[in-house]
Structure 1
């Protein structure tokens, strides 16, 4: 699952896709309604690919957690982020049993569930690792590409006059 261009912007609801970088910031498109907004460099912006969840052993990247949720739900929608905190915590314990309960708050769990459901609704939940059949197909298509001859320019050498 590629979360490289998916953004969470502080103070703005939903998730955004990075479209174009500008001199003073960037343009992002909302996943919710498709509207484009300009974002100043001073805004607090987080790439989903850079977010991690605290566990007792260290940190787990958000992409791994979303993949676990997708596997559990067969790529379908997950529990609503509007459920009560007890249900949210129980659900999250099924997904990530060793998450640090002192450092991961119910509000964080709500964000993760909300983000997963937004990504799932837009069809952005895909397998992280291609299946062997897909990997074989990619390799076989690479074998069919003909090798081309690479020509390097000849060096020009000036002869010294004696």
Structure 2
């Protein structure tokens, strides 16, 4: 799976694709149907790439990419984002076993499911992640 260039921006819903950089910051394109382009200034806004996001685990942190892979393998059982907390937690126990239930909230699970729903139609699951730079 290739999540390189996909980012979450603090204070903005949804996901974005990093498409360039200028003097004012990074140029992003929303991944929703509107494909809105915007410039984000990193001195005032925080941005996180999806490939770098991890989830609190009881022992080790769990990579978001691994959770997405597990959701893909369990796609028929994926609850709606608006499902109740118990349903979301039970599903997350299946796709992210060993997550820290005290520090991973229902709102986090909802966000991860909504992100998965945004990217599942993209060809990211068939693409290999680029090799890390040495």
Bucket of the pairwise TM-score, normalised by the shorter protein: 0.7 to 0.9
Report the counterpart of residue 54 of structure 1 in structure 2: 56
- Per-residue deviation, 1:4: 1.3
- TM-score (norm: length of structure 1): 0.72
Task: State which structure, 1 or 2, has the greater radius of gyration over its C-alpha atoms.
Answer: 1
Report the counterpart of residue 113 of structure 1 in structure 2: 113
- Per-residue deviation, 1:2: 1.0
- Per-residue deviation, 1:127: 4.2
Asked if 1 retains the 8 angstrom alpha-carbon contact of 2:78 and 2:91, the reply is no
Structure 2: tracts of 5 or more residues without a match = 129-134
- Per-residue deviation, 1:21: 1.2
Residues 36-51 of structure 1 aligned to structure 2 (within 5 Å): 36-42=37-43, 43-51=45-53
- The alpha-carbon distance between structure 1 residues 57 and 48, as it changes in their structure 2 partners (threshold 3 A), is same
What is the number of equivalent residue pairs in this alignment? 126
How much is the aligned-residue C-alpha RMSD, in angstroms? 1.8
Report the counterpart of residue 24 of structure 1 in structure 2: 24
Distance in 1, Cα, partners of 2:28 & 2:53:
18
Distance in 2, Cα, partners of 1:90 & 1:118:
22
Structure 1: tracts of 5 or more residues without a match = 130-162
Structure scoring higher RCO (CA < 8 A, sep ≥ 6) equals 2
Report the counterpart of residue 78 of structure 1 in structure 2: 78
Residues 92-131 of structure 1 aligned to structure 2 (within 5 Å): 92-120=92-120, 122-127=121-126
Report the counterpart of residue 69 of structure 2 in structure 1: 67
Report the counterpart of residue 35 of structure 1 in structure 2: 36
Asked if 2 retains the 8 angstrom alpha-carbon contact of 1:65 and 1:95, the reply is yes
- TM-score (norm: length of structure 2): 0.86
